[in-house]
Amino acid sequence: MQEIKKQLKTGVVFTAIGQYAGVVSNLLVSMVLSRILSPTDYGTLNIVLVFLPFFQMISELGVGPAIIQNRDLDDLDLSSLFKMLTVVSLLIGCFFGFFGFGLSWFYGKTIYIPIAWLLSINIIFSIMSVVPVAILTKNQQFKILNLSGLMNYIIGSVIGIISALSGLGVYALIIGSTVPAILNFFCYFRLSGLHVLSGYNKKSFLKVRHFSSNQFGFGLVNYFSRNLDNIMVGKFFGAAALGSYGKSYQMLTYPNSILTDVITPVIQPILAQHQEDIELIKNIYSKVLRLLFLVGVPLSFFLCINASPLIAFLFGGQWDSAIAPFKFLSLVVWTQIAGSTIGSIFQARNETKYLFRTGIISTVIIVLGIIAGIILGDIAKLAFVLSIAFLINFLFTFWMLTHFALKTNLWFVIKILIKPFLLSILPTAASLSWIIFGKNPSSNFFQLVINTLIFGIVFLIETWRTGDIKFVMNFIKRND
C-alpha cells in the first residue's frame, strides 16, 4: 500500500508540473491570441477541430491504453503495433485532407480545404506518438513525458503568436497546435527507447484486441457526445456563435487540466498492477474523489458567480457572448472533473466492456440534451440544457462504475459529495453578498481579486473547521 502511494505521489507530482505549467502557458497564449483574432477566426477553426479527435481516435484503435494494461508485450509486438499505427495514420491523414472538401460543401466555405490538409499533419504525428507515449506511461516515466511535452508546447505557442502578429489569422492557430505535435513525436520516440525491428508480427494486435476494441468503442461514442454540440452550433448558429461557445467551453477544460489530467494518467498504469484487489482500488479512489469534489464543487460556484469579470479580463470585451453559456456550464464543472476519472478505473479493473456500455448510454443522454438545446435557438439555452444533461449523465456513469467495476453502490460516491456542497454554501453566499451589496471596482482584475479573496478565505475557514484542509495537505504530502 505504501509503495502504491509513493508511486502515485511521484507520478502526480511530475504530471502536475507539466499540466500546471501547460495550463498557465495555454491561458497566456489564449489571452494574447483572443485579443488578436476574432470569435469568427476561432469558430472557423473549431468547426474543423471538432473532427480532428475523431480521426485520431479511429487511427489509434484504442491501442495506447491496451499497451499500458498488457504485461505480455515484447519488443517485436511494440514495433509491430508502431508500424501498424504509422501506416494507418498516413492513410487517415490523407483522408482527412480530402474530408476538407466535404466540410467546404457542408458549411459553404472553401477555407476548410487548406485547413484540413494542414491539420492532417497534426493527425499523422499524433498517431505515430501513441506507442511511444504508452511505453513511457507504462514505465511510469511521467517526468520526461510531461516536461518534454511542456517545452514543445511553449515552442509551438511562441511560433503561433508570432504567426498571429504577422497577420496569418486562423492559420496561426493551426501552426501553434501542429508544431508541438511534430516535436512531441520525435521527443517521445527517442525517450521511449522504442526499437523498430525488422519484420511484422500479425498476432501483436490480437494480444490487445479485446481491451482495445472496447476502449475504441467507448472513445467513438464518447466523441459524439462531446463534440456534437460544436458541430450543430457551427451549422445552425454560425462561426461567430461557435467561437463564443467554444471559448466558454475552453474555460471549463482548465479545471480538468489542473485536477483530473494530473491524476488520471497516473491511476491506470499503477492500479493496473492490482486489478483484482477491489478494496485497495476503492480505498485509493475514494480519496481521489474526495479531493476532486473538495476542489471541484466550490470552484463550480466560484466560476459561475464570477463569469462576467473573468471572461472580460482574460479575453477582452469582444467575448461578452461567451459569458451566459459559461455561467451555466460552470455550475456542473465538478461533474466533468469527477467523471473524467471513470475511464481510468474501468481500465485499471480491466472492465472496458462496461466502459463501452457506459459510453453508449452516456452518449444518448448528452446527444438528447444537445438536440433540445439547439431547438431552443441560442447558445445560452443550449448550455443550460446541456448542464442538466451533464448532471444526469454524472449519476448514470457513476452508477455503472460503482456497480460493475467497484462492486458497490452509488452511495459510495454520493456520501463523498455531500460535504463539499455544504462547505460551498457560506463562501458562495459571502461572495454574492459582496457582488450585490458591496462597492465593486470598475477594473475586472481588481473585482476578481476581491471576489477570490472573499470566497477563498471563507472556504479555507470552513475546511479548517471541518478538518478537510488537513486531508488535502496529507494527500499532497503523502497520499495518505
pLDDT (tens, 9 = 90+) of the chain, 480 residues, equals 555 555 555 555 656 666 556 666 666 777 777 777 777 777 777 777 777 777 766 656 678 878 887 778 889 999 999 999 999 899 999 999 999 999 889 888 888 899 999 999 999 999 999 999 999 988 878 778 878 888 888 898 889 889 888 888 878 888 888 999 999 999 999 999 898 888 888 788 878 777 777 767 777 777 777 778 888 888 888 888 888 888 888 788 778 777 777 677 667 677 777 778 899 899 989 998 999 999 999 999 999 999 999 999 888 888 899 999 999 999 999 999 999 899 889 988 888 889 889 989 999 999 999 999 999 988 999 999 999 999 999 999 999 999 999 999 999 999 999 999 999 999 999 999 998 887 777 788 899 999 999 999 999 999 999 999 888 888 766 544
CA gap 412, 441 in Å, rounded: 44
Q: Tell me, what's the pLDDT at 69?
A: 77
CA 208, distance to chain mean position in Å, is: 25
Please give the C-alpha separations between residue 447 and each of 63, 154, 400, 441, in angstroms, as whole numbers: 47, 30, 42, 6
Quick count: other Cβ atoms within 10 Å of Cβ 416? 20
Collapsing DSSP states into helix, strand and coil, what is residue 417?
Answer: helix
- The pTM of the full predicted model, rounded to 2 decimals, is 0.74
State how far the Cα of 310 lies from the Cα of 305, in Å rounded to an integer.
10
- Residue 204 CA from chain centroid, whole number: 30
What are the grid coordinates assigned to 247, written together? Answer: 471559448
Side-chain half-sphere exposure of 249, counting CA atoms within 13 A: 22
CA–CA dist 14, 262 (Å, integer): 9
Residue 128: strand, helix, or coil? helix
What cell was used for 414? 454520493
Q: DSSP string of 256-289?
A: HHHTHHHHHHHHHHHHGGGTT-HHHHHHHHHHHH
pLDDT for res 479: 46
User: Torsion angle of alpha carbons 419, 425, 426, 427, nearest 10°?
Assistant: 100
From residue 400, give the alpha-carbon distance in Å to each of 218, 417, 454.
Answer: 14, 17, 38
Main-chain phi, psi angles of 167, to 5 degrees: 90, 20
